[in-house]
Amino acid sequence: MILMKNLKLYEDFQRKYFTDSQITYYEKAWNYLHEKYRNNPFFSSLWNQLKTKKSLSNKQWIELEFLLKNGKSRYEAGVLPPNY
């Protein structure tokens, strides 16, 4: 039983939670993105998860945050190699 409780705490630590005001702020950036990103299945699923569940894993947030701040994916920016 203690192990399950610790596992839950670890999973929560690996997630980023968002307030309504943060979501509103990022929604403005999302709306200004190029259409190819808003229609991209990967990024649109991340965005929908952020809006509905108000949380993302840290890795998901890294990808979405880079897109929102830079207007392109980490692959297009050359931060990650294409076969990552």
What's the chain's Rg over C-alpha atoms? 15
pLDDT at position 1, please? 47
Mean pLDDT per block of 10 residues along the chain (84 residues) reads: 53 82 96 95 96 95 95 86 64
Reported pTM: 0.77
Residue among 53, 56, 47 at smallest CA distance from 27: 47
